[in-house]
Copies of this chain bind each other. A is one copy, B any other.
Amino acid sequence: MADIDDRTLDPTRKGEPRGPDARRHVRTLADLARLAGVSAGTVSRALAGKTLVNVETRDRIQALARHHGFKPNQMASKLRTGRTGVIGVVIPLGQDRRGQISDPLFLRLLGHLADELAECGYDIMLSRAAPDGTADWLERISGSGMVDGIIVIGQSDQADVIEQVAHAYRPLVVWGQGRSGQTQCTVGTDNELGGRIAVEHLLASGARHLAFLGQTGAIEAAARYRGAAAAAQSAGAPFVHLPVDPAGEAMGPQIDRALAAADLPIEGIVAASDLVAMAALRILHERGRAVPGDVRIVGFDDLPFAAQTTPPLTTIRQEIAQGARALVERLKARIEGQPTRSLAMPPRIVVRQSTRS
């Protein structure tokens, strides 16, 4: 044993002339094992905190590892154990494939997911996927052993592809709109109910001629529109759809035109998102139409800036922190083979000045 310890006295000297670049002190378990005078297996167990190794040996090895800044190679560990400790988070770009993740809500959801997953000891592999007509963008991630599970943020126009992959790949959960009869596990806001609540609030506040402002290409926005339209219809209130593109540079003129095109004097607006609502606030202000005096506006999402608009925005809040928690919880369940239920969270209206007379 003494002769082995001798080596540790001069770690700069290479043991054998074979190593062409063996300057780095400790790169593998074996290196550390040599220094500690034990075997690699023992070091492995010691660093993992297993009980099969003497406490003082373990502490000694851990101290040695810390001193040399040694971290076991994760790739080898992952390969050996078959567990990666990584969750893939994928954002399909879909229709708005300008290459940039645009929806600020998704980015905030991502932030919350980072919190939740870090909490459970998972790392995040982030992919922004540009669907190419096949399911490859998803299978590339699910099939290559890089992750233990996948969270898809937003279905975009890929709900069918996701559904197909979900049949074969269990540890998969999706933020988005649930549909009856689906295999995939979705978590999201009840957008239809959100639209309904918005309209009912507008009606209660005295507005009668209503409009839905924003595109309905995204499945979530379509649901919001449906809910809003249904609520207006059952109240017998006039209701029009003014599609504007929040991605376009010139949302201002678009909204301008949309409002001008409406042949009714609009008294209440349900916006597809907070950003659209904010643009509407600005346009109306510039046109001399008072909010909430002449027109009332309800946004959607309750992003942080919604409280800072002029006037502050009444909006349908999506509980994304709670959603992130639900996503991770369900994913963990699925990883362990348990069945899960989809979740449509009830939205809550946050009333601020934009609808308060």
Residues of A in contact with B (beta carbons under 8 Å apart): 69-76, 78-79, 84, 86, 89, 99-102, 104, 107-108, 110-112, 114-115, 118, 123-128, 139-140, 143-146, 251-252, 275, 278-279, 281-282, 285, 304-305, 308-312, 321
Contacts and interface: CB of A to CB of B under 8 A. Distances in A.
A308 B251 contact: yes
A99 to B, nearest CB: 5
A52 to B, nearest CB: 23
What number of copies of this chain does the assembly contain?
A: 2
A283 B183 CA distance: 49
A217 B128 CA distance: 33
B73 A75 contact: no
Contacts of A70: 143
Most buried by B among A74, A101, A278, A279: A74
Nearest to A78: B75
30 contacts: A70-B143, A71-B144, A73-B79, A73-B145, A74-B145, A75-B145, A76-B79, A79-B79, A86-B125, A89-B126, A99-B115, A102-B111, A104-B104, A110-B126, A114-B127, A118-B127, A123-B126, A123-B146, A124-B125, A124-B126, A124-B127, A125-B126, A126-B126, A275-B304, A275-B305, A281-B308, A282-B310, A309-B309, A309-B310, A310-B310
Nearest to A104: B104
A115 B144 CA distance: 21
A202 B76 CA distance: 58
Most buried by B among A79, A112, A114, A308: A308
A75 B84 contact: yes
B140 A71 contact: yes
Nearest to A72: B144
Contacts of A123: 125-127, 146
